[in-house]
Structure 1
């Protein structure tokens, strides 16, 4: 899940809770997480980098990824699709306890990348006449929101609803660190205890609550669990075998990377990052609970932007954007997707983070280059953020001019 999207080269894309709230209550975490993840043991982090033999990665990128690991991130992986050629790499380890090297095919929690999947399903339902972008949410979810008759489906998807972001409520953290399973309606109810950030349609503010409501809309209209609709409409048709929606369990299927929080938040005996892989992601649900691989995420965005999942008029709606911040004109938000203009042109995609993991995925409309990058420490310290931002910028745009 993400508290705020932004430039993947310049700004952190968020955590399961705002970092300030996390730090205030960090003293609670060691005792509450005691049963959620194993204590770290084993050898120190090896400087192991594993490269796909078929990958075409230049030495400069190897140096960049090793720099991410040197900055304290347990593992990082990247996949670049460029003019039909696939470049992929991984650095660091999949599990600090065993020291096993991380491989590019590892599954990770992808946080708010989930939002683009959910928005795609909503738009498919719009295309079927079962939802309407400019009709009020209360038509399908009566009583869920106190002003559900004025907030539209479109406003949920582009974050102009004014709904308070439930992840900003400190009460959420106690349940997360106890590894509680949250019901989606419970998350909306938590947001409803707060005033609106602004009247619907009059501003923009990133709110995970929007996508919890969007997930509930999908379930109300289809009468199926959200995970089933994702499987039926996206995962199975595209052959995304590495992607799943284990919203109520901390168990990650298949070969996966472990996720960590830094030792300054959860002190450990060896001063090493603390494993939070076992935390269930129910607090993120439709806003950020998806598990996937770089290969699958890349396939999804290329298929989406290529028109495989949405007909042209609906894809045009997805790409209809609003300004995030007048002071940062390069950043605009569509329906579950962000438009970022940088030195290499216009990029479409999303970034996200959830306890232990950060991910970004962007497709460049000028070059067709598709980049997915993931790392296994969140929230990451400043040095790690700087190394990740440098790597992201170069894999997206190439080395900058001296």
Structure 2
């Protein structure tokens, strides 16, 4: 078996031998309230109307379906209701099937997870350091985000994007976000490349391979990877985005790429997958499923929290294995509590629906006091809250985070969800994100420090921006034309109505808001102008969460 290096192989073997407590174990989901289905229905009450999209939900206990139901409309034009048989685009839930295909090929001896990706995808540049297949799976490759690259190249979200398009933009890249293996940063391009590798190694398309080796053996008759966005999918729920006037707009992606996304499925089929993932039958699936459930290890030696296309973590003290999905108007979440033998799947077709939160509420119904109490919110004084608003910058990534006081609460600028105080300068944003504000220290002479933990164990570190705002003359010095060869695009920096704008074909202007010195923000983007040794503006860089310091040279 060429599945991995020996240490990882040992963890796989160990995982295969320990599949969790047997059915009927005190830790299983055996004791639940008799009215649990009524309580679940109440959770989905906001999505039960005839003029709204909604969700299908599936819940299994000890591997058997306990409840499945649909809420809302699968198609608002024809008033078709969502049912447990409705088919949804699962978004990033697809990643676990791509990772599993690679694990099966490794078990077949056709590749090793330690192989250099250029062995199979020679189109990719040589970055001076090897990127392994395992690093693609675990989001440690350092590759730039494919969607953001295409955006900078002038592609719109409703353009048809193919596997070849993604591979072409990747092959042009001459830089990485970070050295492979040194950090963990969620990345879709890695899973597009995994799909390419699976196809070149197996000699079959990924949809064909997955049907033959995954979906058909597990009885997932309503699940498939989509290759052509124009294909007919009987029973498909349409995706929707909320419009500013309160109505809904169709939001179905015109995407012909797959690997990071592309799987259409039902709640019933995903429950079959969850059972196989957590409790595989004796046989050939045990070792690759154990690999899927095993978290990668960061350079520090601590678990990264990401296995084979799934997050491996905890929720309120209980182990979980799960993943969310976001693509156009579809929002999805599938999670298993392996020690309690409980699995929950929520597939939704409205972009404003939060399926992970809905699944967590269902977990509270089924697991009750086995869930640890949520962290207690501490009321912060007005003086404490007043200390933290400002602009913070990361020297590592060049990201900018702005924090403001609005409606009596601390929140990210423009954000709708306030930060909740946990005491001592620690705040939470949702279930997983933590924001820690610290006072000035010797190590941070420039001002206060902000550390943000998202889904990964390593925080993003920011310091308060102290640089003065640019003068009118300095703003005028940024006007000009700039080019990024790696995306084959030229950008015009203009001054209109006293504001700088970045303009390029087929995209709306980025209106730049100054935050100090040569640094600006526009939505999720940070734009930092650079200077030559003599102080002349010679370029700028684009930075977003998954793309760092993409340089444009001044023409």
Could you state the TM-score of these two structures normalised by the residue count of structure 1? 0.75
Partner of 1:290: 263
**Mapped pair 1:113 → 2:93:** yes
* TM-fit CA distance, 1:330: 9.9
Distance 1:100 1:57, change over 3 A: farther
Partner of 2:209: 229
- Alpha-carbon distance in 2 for matches of 1:390, 1:330: 24
Contact 2:74-2:237 within 8 A present in 1 as well: yes
Structure in which a larger fraction of residues adopt helix:
1
Partner of 1:352: 325
* TM-fit CA distance, 1:173: 7.2
Deviates more, 1:242-251 or 1:75-84: 242-251
Distance 1:263 1:310, change over 3 A: farther
Partner of 2:251: 276
Which residue of the other structure, out of 256, 275, 295, is the alignment partner of 1:302? 275
Say which one has the larger Rg. 2
Deviates more, 1:250-259 or 1:288-297: 250-259
**Mapped pair 1:258 → 2:238:** yes
Contact 1:307-1:315 within 8 A present in 2 as well: yes
Contact 1:57-1:88 within 8 A present in 2 as well: no
Partner of 1:135: 115
* TM-fit CA distance, 1:139: 1.6
**Mapped pair 1:58 → 2:37:** yes
Structure 1 gaps of 5+ residues are 1-54
Contact 1:259-1:356 within 8 A present in 2 as well: yes
**Mapped pair 1:211 → 2:178:** no
- Alpha-carbon distance in 1 for matches of 2:251, 2:65: 35
Partner of 1:44: none
- Alpha-carbon distance in 1 for matches of 2:238, 2:334: 20
* TM-fit CA distance, 1:322: 3.5
Alignment of structure 1 residues 3-402 onto 2, 5 Å: 57-68=36-47, 74-83=53-62, 84-147=64-127, 150-169=130-149, 170-171=151-152, 174-178=155-159, 180=160, 182-191=161-170, 192-193=172-173, 195-264=175-244, 271-277=246-252, 279-283=253-257, 285-308=258-281, 311-322=285-296, 332-343=305-316, 345-378=318-351, 380=352, 384-385=353-354, 388-398=355-365
Q: Secondary structure at the match of 1:348?
A: strand
* TM-fit CA distance, 1:352: 0.8
- Alpha-carbon distance in 1 for matches of 2:261, 2:280: 24
Contact 1:107-1:242 within 8 A present in 2 as well: yes
Distance 1:350 1:73, change over 3 A: farther
Contact 1:79-1:89 within 8 A present in 2 as well: yes
Where relative contact order (Cα < 8 A, 6+ residues apart) is larger, the structure is: 1
- Alpha-carbon distance in 2 for matches of 1:213, 1:373: 28
Over residues 119-170 of structure 1, what are the superposed CA-to-partner deviations in whole Å (9 max), with x where a residue is unaligned? 1110000001101011211122223343397000100101111111112232
* TM-fit CA distance, 1:275: 1.3
Distance 1:317 1:172, change over 3 A: farther
* TM-fit CA distance, 1:206: 0.4
Structure 2 gaps of 5+ residues are 1-33, 375-555
Q: RMSD across aligned C-alpha pairs, in angstroms?
A: 2.8
Contact 1:122-1:214 within 8 A present in 2 as well: yes
Contact 1:110-1:292 within 8 A present in 2 as well: yes
- Alpha-carbon distance in 2 for matches of 1:115, 1:295: 18
- Alpha-carbon distance in 1 for matches of 2:214, 2:262: 16
* TM-fit CA distance, 1:392: 1.6
- Alpha-carbon distance in 2 for matches of 1:173, 1:66: 41
Question: Matched residue pairs, number?
Answer: 330
